[in-house]
Structure 1
């Protein structure tokens, strides 16, 4: 049975209704993602106020950043699911070793990624076909984002470990703090010194006038602070799988191998999705600056629809992993069904709101009429597919918690490279749909992926993935196929 700190609840308590435990885990993640989205809105609005070229400079790098973030996210999934599985089975000592291996992985792999991307970032805007006017700004943006990748990996992995232990509130609290700092730093670094009027009083505000570069530098500073704070949380006594400096920190190849077996399909899934985004960005770059800026801002606005699904998907991963670790398949299925119901319902409501208020959302980030018009049009197209996307996110969370990380990869491959990319190419090239064609193809991908995900869930094979390799690993470490 899972251990719990005083601020937590027993995740395997059958006397409690599933919705109470699910909501206990989900709401902090939803609020955390909401705050992150609002900060993303503020960041985009600040940069957007500099003009369409500044927005395009960030947009041309975004899909590549998503690709790298997806690879780092996969490492967090691998270690956190493995830890949650062992906590559910009562193997706390093994869970503690897993946490230390995760910290080592962040420091080594994250540093290597930062170094590699520092070299690649200078050429990336050219590879992506960026308009000549935005190349220099895009390079400056990637310079600081690349430095922060090691910290970004820490944010992904350490937060995943905390959430999978049942502690979703600590990442929320730290997210609030870092977001406040991010707004302040953006306000100082992006704009020049100026005088603003508040309640009739003129106040001088110092500014560094760094523009797009200031946005990336402030983000990197905040990410480093957040990663360090999250890492400290892993050393607290109240953390059920507490890491301690005085314990052994030697490498455990069996644990690392098991974590990366889980992570590899997730990495391939993310690479499949984000490499597809890179191809799409390359297509959109040829459509001009307005299309590129509209695409970026519509993507930014659309993230609000993900919030409920992200929270419930994270809860599903944690609860399924704990339940199957305790050999409670019925409880795992019960949690899975409830997460699908809650997550998809909330996503439906969000998609309706996005469809209705699309022009207002885009107007937050840009005052350019062409960008607002095109951005709101494509945002409404994708809103039609959001409930299906929410369904796929729920099932992906369930499958990961069950150790079936290959399933989401296959489904992502189907949606992105069989539906979205060919569909976008045909609609742009043969029918002249422009950016609207890209987003129609994206909507079709969401529908297909959601339907295919639900079919995989209903077959129920995910409940038995962990059984295939039981008993092979010493010290109670659970491996999988």
Structure 2
């Protein structure tokens, strides 16, 4: 192949070639894959944090207009991510087996399949955008901005899909650095675009110098336009690197069919479908939570939205480690190394719990500063700080469920874990939230969330350490 091997590539080659790995090498590889993935995850949620803080300075109505549809945007976001995962996991297995030609064939098929899927999803999103704020119980004053925000988000779903697909393929090949750098670039571009699109022309004092900054003054509309433009540029860069520069997966100079084959689609659907239904169930529950929160008033909607974004900064490291776990476990399975697979599974889960435990403690201590950046409204800040501190206690167990889920995705086992997520959030969180909200308000909703996340972590650890899924892998092989 003539592939130039860096430190990460060398350690991953030990998996594919069946060579022994010391504990130190396993830890180093986990860190090499996790750190860039964490950076990518944090940068993606930072975009929402930036949008919220910039729009939040415009007042409660502007903040609530984004918060109202945030759970629905996550639903569509999750469906695109699930579609990409169905193909990237197959690529991880092929790479683990040393079949680079087969991995490229799957990549070609995935581009056509996911573009068709995301285009259909975009059409659905655009068609419901006008009615969505009303369905969610939003106040009349914020419906117009909410509708526009979601319509533009839906229009650019194909670009978001390509971003997910290219990033997932690169990560499954062991390249975490390029997706991380491009996601950081996307975050920086979002700041720049928002600076000029959200606010009107104004006098700015920067480092003692005063100058007139031009601006479009679009408010909420400017926030979503800045975000999708940044996503479009990042998606273009990601696809360019994947198709032209990736040592293992580049398609330039080679011919092959982009028409999806039945076997590839069947495997993708088997992996993606449970994940898609799970995202629908979880985001549906989040939408139901929004419906529970909406009658509590604009202050509660805004505080809920800000706290969700702030907490996301805490749990994004868990999703980064989860992506590393998917890569490590997927390539170990492709190479037929079940014992190594199990070691990587345990290593990544414990790492995620430790890091998110620390993040939870920091989030509790820094809650006033975190919420304070996003809004100057005192009532929103006070309520946001209280609910964010409730959630801080759940972070270690939340990490257990996130990373363990990534392990199961890596082996292509998504059905039972998806059912576990569905049962936990609908059976525990929503039931408790509906019961506690009338008496405790938004604090009761977040207490229900904290209890449910702890329960979810317990059941995922029980499955991970129970060993039955490992036994089934041995039988299959």
Shorter-chain-normalised TM-score: which range? Answer: over 0.9
Q: Distance in 1 between matches of 2:423 and 2:118?
A: 29
Residue 34 of structure 1 deviates from its aligned partner by 2.5
Partner of 2:345 in structure 1? 336
- CA deviations 1:317-359 (Å, max 9, x no partner) are 1111111111100000111111111111001000011111112
- Contact 1:196 1:203 (C-alpha < 8 Å) held by counterparts: yes
Check if 1:137 corresponds to 2:116.
no
Answer yes or no: is 1:433 the counterpart of 2:432. no
Does residue 1:388 correspond to 2:389, yes or no? no
Aligned to 1:169: 177
Counterpart in the other structure of 1:14? 20
Deviations 1:253-304 (A, max 9, x none): 1111111111111111111111100000011011100000000000011012
The residue aligned with 1:476 is none
The alignment partner of 2:440 has SS state of coil
1:293-304 equivalences in 2 (<5 Å): 293-304=302-313
Partner Cα distance (2:130, 2:20) in 1: 54
Is the CA contact 1:5–1:238 (under 8 Å) kept in the aligned structure 2?
A: no
How many residues of Structure 1 are paired with residues of Structure 2 in the alignment? 467
- CA deviation vs aligned residue, 1:93-138 (integer Å, no higher than 9, x gap): 2111111111112221111111221111111001000011101111
Q: Distance in 2 between matches of 1:209 and 1:9?
A: 51
Q: Which residue of 2 aligns with 1:66?
A: 74
The residue that corresponds to 1:109 in the other structure is: 117
> What is residue 227 of structure 1 aligned with on the other side?
235
1:46-81 per-residue CA deviation (whole Å, 9 max, x = no partner) reads 000000100100011111111111111111211111
- Residue 200 of structure 2 aligns with which residue? 192
* TM superposition score normalised by structure 1: 0.94
Name the structure 1 match of 2:217: 209
Q: Which residue of 2 aligns with 1:477?
A: none
Q: Distance in 2 between matches of 1:402 and 1:311?
A: 17
Separation in 2 of the partners of 1:250 and 1:428?
50
**Whole-angstrom distance in 1 between the partners of 2:446 and 2:3:** 44
Residue matched to 2:189: 181
Shift of 1:202: 2.1
Residues 309-388 of structure 1: pairs in structure 2 closer than 5 A: 309-388=318-397
1:412, 1:206 → 2: CA distance? 47
| Paired position in structure 1 for 2:247 | 239
Secondary structure of 1:195's partner? strand
Shift in Å, 1:14? 3.1
Residue in structure 2 matched with residue 159 of structure 1 by the alignment: 167
Aligned pairs for 1:29-68 within 5 A: 29-68=37-76
* Structure 2 segments unaligned to the other structure (5+ residues): none
CA contact (8 A) 2:55 2:62 kept: yes
Partner of 2:94: 86
Structure 1 residue 172: deviation in Å?
1.1
Bigger shift: 11-20 or 315-324? Answer: 11-20
Shifted more, 312-321 versus 288-297: the winner is: 312-321
1:467, distance to aligned residue in structure 2 (A): 5.6
Partner SS state of residue 10, structure 2: coil
- On the 8 A contact 1:358/1:379 being kept in 2, the answer is yes
Change (3 A) 1:345 1:237: same
Structure number with higher helix proportion: 2
Give the superposition deviation at 1:198: 2.2
Corresponding residue number in structure 2 for 1:412: 421
**In 2, Cα distance between equivalents of 1:369 and 1:253:** 57
Mapped to 2, the partners of 1:442 and 1:222 lie a distance apart of 32
Q: State the distance in 2 between where 1:36 and 1:251 align.
A: 30
Q: Secondary structure at the match of 2:201?
A: strand
User: Whole-Å Cα distance in 2 between the matches of residues 199 and 397 of structure 1?
Assistant: 44
- Measure, in 2, the Cα distance between the counterparts of 1:401 and 1:201: 52
SS at 2:175 equivalent: coil
Q: Distance in 2 between matches of 1:291 and 1:33?
A: 27
RMSD over aligned Cα atoms: 1.7
Distance in structure 1 (CA, Å) of the matches to 2:3 and 2:306: 41
Measured after TM superposition, the shift of residue 146 of structure 1 is 1.3
1:371-395 CA-to-partner distances (Å, cap 9, x unmatched) read: 0111111111111111110011111
Q: Aligned to 1:27, which of 35, 38, 59?
A: 35
Indicate the residue corresponding to 1:478 in structure 2: none
After the TM superposition, list the runs of 4 or more consecutive aligned residues in structure 1 that deviate by more than 6 angstroms: none
Q: Deviations over 1:443-468 (max 9, x none)?
A: 11101100000000011222244566
1:26-54: per-residue Cα shift (whole Å, max 9, x none)? Answer: 01011222333333322211000000100
Distance 2:205 2:178 in 1: 36
Distance 1:5 1:444 in 2: 48
The gaps in structure 1 that reach 5 residues or longer are: 471-481
